[in-house]
């Protein structure tokens, strides 16, 4: 059975994580996900990627701790040590998250249940996060088993909720409900009913937007916190002009001036 299921809904690709009974992320799922992401990002007919869980009440429970324990035992047997002057290399999972962040297409997490540890790290790499209300838990509880969030959890969480709140959540290992996650800014909204229905409404809207403009906007905003303001403004001016002279930009502005298109949503 495939651990990654892909459904096409016109220009939207819905990707489901399916690893019963617990819904863990593991190396086999990462391998399938790697190939799926490559294919979908290369497919020009796919405008938006939506990720969700196939199991009821589970997005990705967390990464399979038994695999992490086996890796630990293997490295300890070799006497491996680690220090910040010798950075650990990226894994396939790290590279997938980076690709989704930098992809020219919008990526949405339709969080249909619990997403902890690596599961919530995956959500944070997505552009939009909608969480279904229910008895579900979101966050980074790794400290409770003696480790830390190793796939962006300490870095991306700070960018979402600020340093003080990220410290509190990460040091206590406290997970939160969908509603609290929305209040804290960990997700964009907590919604009633099947989250995929709400997500598809947004995904279809994004899929209808001019793809070149979508790609430019995502690139500018995703890089804003790491780019000096002067350089970011220069990049913005340049990409603005690129869209202004493009066929689609010229046509859509013309429709607005002619009174056949509104600038409001």
pLDDT in tens, 30-57: 999 999 999 999 999 999 999 999 999 9
Residue 121 annotated in active site: yes
Q: Supply the mean pLDDT for the chain.
A: 97
The answer, yes or no, to whether residue 169 has pLDDT greater than 80, is yes
Q: What is the pLDDT of residue 264?
A: 87
Give the whole-number percent of the chain exceeding pLDDT 90.
98
Catalytic residue among 7, 121, 226, 236: 121
User: What's the pTM?
Assistant: 0.95
pLDDT of residue 190: 98
Long-range CB contacts (< 8 A, 24+ apart) of 223-230? 225/159
User: Which of the following is catalytic: 32, 61, 132, 142?
Assistant: 142
Instruction: Say if residue 1's pLDDT is above 70.
Output: no
Q: Is the pLDDT of residue 73 over 90?
A: yes
What pLDDT score does 186 carry?
A: 98
Does the active-site annotation cover 180? no
């Amino acid at each position: 059975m495939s651990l990654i299921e892909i459904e096409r809904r016109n220009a939207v690709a819905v990707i489901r994580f399916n690893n019963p009974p617990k819904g863990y992320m593991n190396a086999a799922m990462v391998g399938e996900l790697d190939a799926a992401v490559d294919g979908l990002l290369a497919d020009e007919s796919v405008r938006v990627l939506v990720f969700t869980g196939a199991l009821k009440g589970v997005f990705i429970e967390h990464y399979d701790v038994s695999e992490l324990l086996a890796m630990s035992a293997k490295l300890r047997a070799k006497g491996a040590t680690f220090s910040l002057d010798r950075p650990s290399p990226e894994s396939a999972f790290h590279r997938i998250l980076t690709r989704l962040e930098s992809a020219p297409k919008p990526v949405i997490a339709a969080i249909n249940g619990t997403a902890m540890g690596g599961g919530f790290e995956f959500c944070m790499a997505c552009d939009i996060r909608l969480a279904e209300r229910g008895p579900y838990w979101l966050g980074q509880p790794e400290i409770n088993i003696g480790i830390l969030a190793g796939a962006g959890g300490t870095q991306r969480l700070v960018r979402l909720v600020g340093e003080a709140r990220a410290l509190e959540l990460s040091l206590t290992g406290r997970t939160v409900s969908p509603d609290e996650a929305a209040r804290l800014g960990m997700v964009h909204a907590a919604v009633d009913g099947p989250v995929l229905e709400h997500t598809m409404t947004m995904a279809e809207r994004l899929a209808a937007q001019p793809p070149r403009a979508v790609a430019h906007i995502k690139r500018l905003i995703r890089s804003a916190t790491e780019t000096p303001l002067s350089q970011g403004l220069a990049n913005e001016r340049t990409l603005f002009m690129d869209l202004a002279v493009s066929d689609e930009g010229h046509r859509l502005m013309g429709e607005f001036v002619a009174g056949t298109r509104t600038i409001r949503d």
